[in-house]
Chains A and B, each alone.
Chain A
Amino acid sequence: EAEVAQSPRYKITEKSQAVAFWCDPISGHATLYWYRQILGQGPELLVQFQDESVVDDSQLPKDRFSAERLKGVDSTLKIQPAELGDSAMYLCASSLGPGAQGKLFFGEGSRLTVL
């Protein structure tokens, strides 16, 4: 069964350092999402791509976070500099597109700990 691949699974970093997460969506899925899940809470959307274009980044803290999906396939989420409050699970998800409303396939996530 096709899966959304994410790496690294775990990342420990010190505050003010840079960190990057990578995601490879399910083949053929045009839409890619980055969600952040703080421990004990539901995921929250950070950024949504349709192919290589950003559809929604209204909740992305743009002073320190950036995301790209250059060729419309895999994607990278970067945080620079990391802050203590960024400790969370970063989930990548993909879907077929507008016809698959709300039907997202999530990866296993990248757990970030900022010391």
Chain B
Amino acid sequence: QQQVKQSPQSLIVQKGGISIINCAYENTAFDYFPWYQQFPGKGPALLIAIRPDVSEKKEGRFTISFNKSAKQFSLHIMDSQPGDSATYFCAANAGGTSYGKLTFGQGTILTVHP
């Protein structure tokens, strides 16, 4: 019940294309859904996050879409750039005393070709 399932494992996109990564969760106690970006040799960095009271959040070229009834959320990267090539992790958090415990998905390796 604590799992967050992420797909695809890897994704190759041409420069300028749209990258879409999907996640699904089971635990209805989760109330905060961040996406983290990780470059090789670096730690994950918070990219964008959403709470289930909204269906979409956009920051620049990055958009999270959230479907509470389906318990699914996705990251869309518009106009993908080679500099976006990284591993992306969706995550979920239940708040309360678990405010720092992130349950991560397996990760998606994104490659954007020039």
Inter-chain CA distance A23–B42, complex, in Å, is: 15
Inter-chain CA distance A95–B36, complex, in Å, is: 15
A33 and B100 contacting across the interface, CB-CB below 8 Å? yes
- Which residues on the B side are within 8 Å of A55 (C-beta)? 97, 100
The answer to the question of A45 belonging to the interface, with a C-beta cut-off of 8 Å to chain B, is: yes
Task: Tell which of A40, A93, A103 has the most Cβ of chain B within 10 Å.
Answer: A103
Knowing A42-B91, A44-B104 touch, does A107 contact B43 (C-beta < 8 A)?
yes
Inter-chain CA distance A108–B38, complex, in Å, is: 10
From residue A20, how far is it (CB to closest CB) to chain B in Å?
A: 19
A42 and B41 contacting across the interface, CB-CB below 8 Å? no
Residue of B nearest to A92 (CB): B43
A42 and B101 contacting across the interface, CB-CB below 8 Å? no
Question: Total interface residues on A, using CB and 8 Å?
Answer: 27
B43 and A40 contacting across the interface, CB-CB below 8 Å? no
- Which residues on the A side are within 8 Å of B101 (C-beta)? 45, 48, 56
- Which residues on the A side are within 8 Å of B41 (C-beta)? 108
Residue of A nearest to B39 (CB): A108
- Contact residue among B49, B105, B106 (Cβ-Cβ distance under 8 Å from A102): B49
List 9 A-B pairs, minimum CB-CB distance, nearest first.
A42-B104, A106-B43, A102-B93, A102-B32, A101-B99, A98-B99, A102-B34, A45-B101, A106-B44
Where the two chains meet, the residues of B that have a C-beta atom closer than 8 Å to any C-beta of A are 4, 6, 32, 34, 36, 41-46, 49, 89, 91, 93, 95, 97-102, 104-107
